[in-house]
């Protein structure tokens, strides 16, 4: 799923940073979800969380908001649930869903050219953010994903790759181990 983005990258879509698209592997197509967000979410971290829908965190360095949107239930989705604020605003962070109760947001920028290694985990049941081990490298606009146990589907690791820092494209990959709260380097992007 893709949500938000700069309007300049989607000139044919006037709602630009207020739309979400879902990819269908079956049809090999991108489909516009039947909803439009009332707020811009470009530069926000986002992921889907069961029972809540689309959860976004931040979107500008001053924005510490974490909120959920029910998609695609209505033509104009508004935040249906607000979570506790993050300890620090950020934009360009990456976010993953670990399970039914936890999301993790990492990296991003807290102001222009002030990048962060910060990693935060939100437990939506307790509505509490918890700091985790910082990423080894500061980065913004990077990719991330969860590696799950092949037998039970439980989250084991988070992979962080690429992104930018000070206008430079990063090729580094870092892997976070959930059990030990530690990072290790991965193979660089070629």
24 belongs to a structural domain: yes
Count of structural domains, the chain: 1
The answer to whether residue 112 is domain-embedded is yes
Digit-coded pLDDT (tens) for 103-162:
999 998 887 778 889 999 989 889 899 999 999 999 988 999 999 999 999 999 999 999
Confirm whether 179 is domain-assigned. no
**89: in domain:** yes
What range defines the domain where residue 46 resides?
2-136
| CATH number (domain holding residue 81) | 2.120.10.80
- In the predicted model, what is the mean pLDDT of the chain? 76
Please tell me the pTM assigned to this model: 0.75
Task: Give 104-166 as a DSSP string.
Answer: EEE--EEETTEE---EEEEETTTTEEEE-PPPSS--BS-EEEEEE-TTT--EEEEEEE--EET
Q: Is there a domain that residue 189 lies in?
A: no
């Amino acid at each position: 799923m893709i949500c938000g983005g700069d309007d300049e990258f989607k000139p044919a879509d006037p709602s630009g940073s207020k739309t979400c698209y879902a990819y269908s592997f079956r049809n090999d197509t991108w489909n516009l979800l039947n909803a439009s967000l009332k707020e811009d979410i470009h530069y926000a971290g986002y992921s889907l969380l069961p029972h809540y829908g689309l959860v976004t965190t931040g979107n500008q360095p001053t924005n510490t908001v974490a909120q959920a949107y029910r998609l695609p239930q209505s033509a104009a989705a508004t935040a249906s649930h607000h979570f506790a604020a993050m300890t620090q605003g950020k934009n360009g962070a990456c976010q993953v869903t670990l399970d039914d109760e936890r999301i993790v947001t990492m990296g991003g920028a807290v102001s222009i050219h002030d990048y962060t290694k910060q990693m935060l985990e939100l437990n939506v049941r307790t509505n509490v953010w918890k700091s985790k081990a910082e990423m080894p490298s500061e980065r913004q606009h990077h990719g991330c994903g969860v590696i799950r146990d092949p037998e039970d589907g439980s989250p084991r690791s988070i992979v962080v790759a690429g992104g930018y820092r000070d206008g430079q494209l990063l090729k580094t990959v870092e892997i976070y181990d959930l059990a030990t709260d530690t990072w290790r380097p991965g193979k660089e992007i070629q």
